[in-house]
Amino acid sequence: MTRRESARDFLRRFARNKGAVVGSGIVAIVVLVALLAPLVHPQSPWDMVQRPFLPPFTQEGVPFGTDTLGRDIFAGILYGAQISLLVGLVSTLVALSIGVTIGALAGYYGGLIDDALMRTTEFFQTIPNFALAIVLVAIFQPSITSVIVAIGVVSWPPVARLVRGEFLSLRSREFVQAARVIGQSNRTIITSQILPNTVSPIIVMASLMIAQAILLESALSFLGLGDPNTMSWGYMIGAARTVLRQAWWMSFFPGVAILLTVLALNLVGEGLNDALNPRLARKGR
């Protein structure tokens, strides 16, 4: 089977999961929205454009209405997509780089190194994610960087455990022993022999982590711990919660945006799982 055939095979298995196709469609729309936001709506989402408390679908140009200060909710949704995706992607990368490193070292070397690293991992796991994220953001001052770092730092332990498990089972495989016998260094064995064989479960996990990170970011902004200079979905809901009964639309639209994005990412993750895991099971055949 050539590369192209196996890619086609992958797409076929992915497409068999209908939810995953719908999910990737939604994700594609969100990405598009984030990229096109400055073109569709060149004005800053913080600008007041209309009278406050304007209900949705009543005025040309402000389809989702305005918030308590007369800012365009539609613009907020557009720009919020940018921040959500940015935080989701970057913080997942941060979490992956910590988690994969720790998991790989623990799983490959075993023994005392494994013990030390896994106890550290468990230490992080015992602290509730969200509480730790709040503390970190509060200490480092709310900014986009501190939010990303905080989310990354609280989400790596599951990655480490997953990667460690994969390494534990792969390191005793004969091809790894063969690499040791021909004199490859441990670093080469970890990065070029074992790691490529663990990418499938890591990719699946990463897609779910992006969703998780978007939720965490929204929750932080909801509490007012987001970057004060960026419009985000969580912030919009947080700002609108006091007027929930008078102006449902202010929290409804960003809420739906979060719901759809997170749901779509989860569906994609599931589809990736379906598409990648049979390959895992058939690996080496």
Closest residue by Cα to residue 102 from 91, 115, 92: 115
Q: Which is nearer to other proteins, 7 or 69 (CB)?
A: 7
Rama region for 224: left / alpha / beta (φ>0; ψ in -120 to 50; rest): left
Using CB under 8 A, which of the segments 95-103, 171-179, 237-245, 268-276 binds other proteins?
A: 171-179
Strands, E assignment, 54-213? none
Residue from 196, 229, 245, 281 binding other proteins (CB under 8 A): 196
Rule CB under 8 A: say whether 191 interacts with other proteins. Answer: no
Using CB under 8 A, which of the segments 88-96, 146-154, 168-176, 260-268 binds other proteins?
A: 168-176
Token code pair at residue 201: 């479960």
| CA gap 152, 164 in Å, rounded | 18
Could you tell me the smallest distance in angstroms from the CB atom of residue 166 to other proteins? 13
Rule CB under 8 A: say whether 1 interacts with other proteins. Answer: yes
Residue from 16, 51, 180, 241 binding other proteins (CB under 8 A): 180
Answer for the pair 41, 61: CB distance below 8 angstroms, yes or no.
no
Using CB under 8 A, which of the segments 10-18, 23-31, 66-74, 181-189 binds other proteins?
A: 181-189
**217: Cβ contacts below 8 Å, ≥ 6 apart:** 83, 84, 87, 88, 91, 147, 151, 226, 232, 234
Using CB under 8 A, which of the segments 191-199, 222-230, 251-259, 265-273 binds other proteins?
A: 191-199
Binding site for other proteins (CB under 8 A): 1, 173-175, 177-185, 188, 193, 196-197, 283-285
